[in-house]
Structure 1
């Protein structure tokens, strides 16, 4: 029985044929897109209290303090631009002063390199904000643009305008059209009294220190820059801080054996998986991986082109969000992207994907028993 056949039979068990990503073609209703705008499973339990600042990076400790104040200031009446009497302002400034008016800052942008814990802090802000989950939204930039595509612009504005807070992770500036679309959307939401928080990715050609510069973000969101306070977070990638090097890839035989022995694991040939990703919209990559206990890949090869590479980045993000271990045979993950790609405008995305896939590869080591 093929892995594709097994994927269509519920209740597949260990030693039966594993599942297959290539056999999945998920469909996600628009209303489900809204309901799922919450921190992903990896960040269900994150809080400011379990964020571990690097003692050599005081900006990380300061970020926690400012964001705790930010969350505390969101407990007041919606769309008033102010907290309850006596509460802190939205960004924790001027604690003895009256809260800021709607014309003041309504958001914060977390500025830092990959692996410094920006998503942990963003999700902690969502959890700490004193509002019902239905009044808070959390999603990536891609998920937000997909929501607009599914609902339409006006319906998206109407749906999100009643929220207390919108958190946008991985704000992407690679597509000018999408940037203008989301900038316009955020303007409408700010007018409705929604507080904003965001992290961002590298703008092509703005490599700097290997991280995105806050000035670029503020310029690209045009008239919204006055509504954001940029909060710099320095540090090195925590996923590799004090940890051993990424595990070497296993053999195809080892990966295949582990896939058959692991209930809920998928098994796919890497080149075929890349072809399948081209046929599935990136908004569905989360649904593509739902329910998987592990992803097993054979014959991992260099990424052939930039479009394929960017799709793999999205898949890596969704697997990382869902804490799905990745067991691979073939090329090591740090050799997936060509030298040209790693020097180009999407450099930061590729390094983030390498970082996250490496972390997931460590998680998968225990699946190989011999």
Structure 2
């Protein structure tokens, strides 16, 4: 008999990898219900009469809560044990990037190219049905990690896209730091997004996973978050912590769209970002870029931060704006730097103004700051 989600979770408990957690238990219960529903649907689908029926989506699950409470771990276990042949687990932003590329290919393709890419679904001028058909052909179960809507382009198509996926028998599971009611909060034309929120709440069990214990925080507390000087020992420690925080996740990269421009961040995985000082502060980025970055990622690894001098005034200015954005968003920050915060800009024009940033950097490495992230 195949291992169930409950079996896989109990095995982790028995191995001491996790501890009993009432909040996780609620998520486990919802996912186990879905596991049973999917198994029943698969058994029904194996009967001859089911050949003449359209596939039906099952009621999905939406797990939300603070960072580090085990939402992704629960979904990973569920995905591994889910009794579905065609299934896919991906970060939400990666998925939406693919969707936008499919939409673009449909709109720009001639009839021959459309048919080659989308088959019989390539009819009419509306890209959503053929895109949904292409996604449904690949997977009947879609598991999204880090579900978060910050892009108006995503917001405007999500309702119709998910409606079309559900109609084609695709079951949805998602993890998020936000309750559905908080998605795309204060976004442009948010009123047009509200029907999608209602649909999520109607078709997915919304379950909070917000236990008191933050497993990622344990790692940060143990390792520390400020590594200086930038020597081989601290470089190894920084690298080791990044690997631990990834916890097996692949670096898929991310692209932020800001005022019509695209900011490419190659070393990203879900809500984790790793970037060098030069890639964020030695290029023409501004406040809107840093705000978008802080909104997109809950944890930022910033490496190779140098000592700053007046002849690097512009880089120092961008660094100050970046830290302000991360501070206001309560983003967790891990730094590999040439010196301690107060020594990063020790003298010269701009050093006095930098003292406020140094103070914020000191606060952001404190235990209280880490604990108050959510």
Whether 2:39 is the aligned partner of 1:63: answer: no
1:248 corresponds to which residue?
226
Asked if structure 1 preserves the Cα contact closer than 8 Å seen for 2:141 and 2:170, the reply is: yes
CA distance in structure 2 between the partners assigned to 1:75 and 1:298 by the alignment: 49
Q: How many residue pairs were aligned?
A: 246
Whether 2:133 is the aligned partner of 1:158: answer: yes
Whether 2:155 is the aligned partner of 1:179: answer: yes
- The 1:113–1:220 alpha-carbon spacing in structure 2 relative to 1, beyond 3 Å, is farther
CA distance in structure 1 between the partners assigned to 2:56 and 2:180 by the alignment: 33
Whether 2:110 is the aligned partner of 1:146: answer: no
* CA radius of gyration, larger in: 2
Whether 2:66 is the aligned partner of 1:113: answer: yes
Asked if structure 2 preserves the Cα contact closer than 8 Å seen for 1:106 and 1:190, the reply is: no
1:124 corresponds to which residue?
77
2:12 corresponds to which residue?
50
CA distance in structure 2 between the partners assigned to 1:118 and 1:257 by the alignment: 30
Asked if structure 1 preserves the Cα contact closer than 8 Å seen for 2:228 and 2:234, the reply is: no
2:214 corresponds to which residue?
237
Structure 2 unaligned segments of length 5 or more: list them.
Answer: 1-7, 48-54, 104-127, 184-192, 240-255, 308-319, 337-374
Q: Note the alpha carbon deviations across 1:291-321, whole angstroms, 9 max, x for none.
A: xxxx78467979952413534776887x9xx
Q: CA deviation at 1:179?
A: 2.2
CA distance in structure 2 between the partners assigned to 1:63 and 1:226 by the alignment: 17
Q: CA deviation at 1:285?
A: 4.4
2:144 corresponds to which residue?
168
Asked if structure 2 preserves the Cα contact closer than 8 Å seen for 1:161 and 1:193, the reply is: yes
C-alpha RMSD of matched pairs (Å): 4.9
Secondary structure of the 2:72 match is helix
Whether 2:287 is the aligned partner of 1:305: answer: yes
Secondary structure of the 1:126 match is helix
Q: Give 1 or 2: higher helix fraction.
A: 2
CA distance in structure 2 between the partners assigned to 1:121 and 1:64 by the alignment: 7
Asked if structure 2 preserves the Cα contact closer than 8 Å seen for 1:145 and 1:182, the reply is: no
Asked if structure 2 preserves the Cα contact closer than 8 Å seen for 1:115 and 1:238, the reply is: yes
Asked if structure 2 preserves the Cα contact closer than 8 Å seen for 1:173 and 1:203, the reply is: no
- The 1:206–1:231 alpha-carbon spacing in structure 2 relative to 1, beyond 3 Å, is closer
CA distance in structure 2 between the partners assigned to 1:223 and 1:205 by the alignment: 11
Secondary structure of the 2:89 match is strand
Structure 1 unaligned segments of length 5 or more: list them.
Answer: 1-46, 86-100, 208-216, 263-275, 320-324, 362-370
Greater relative CO, 1 or 2 (CA 8 Å, sep 6+): 1
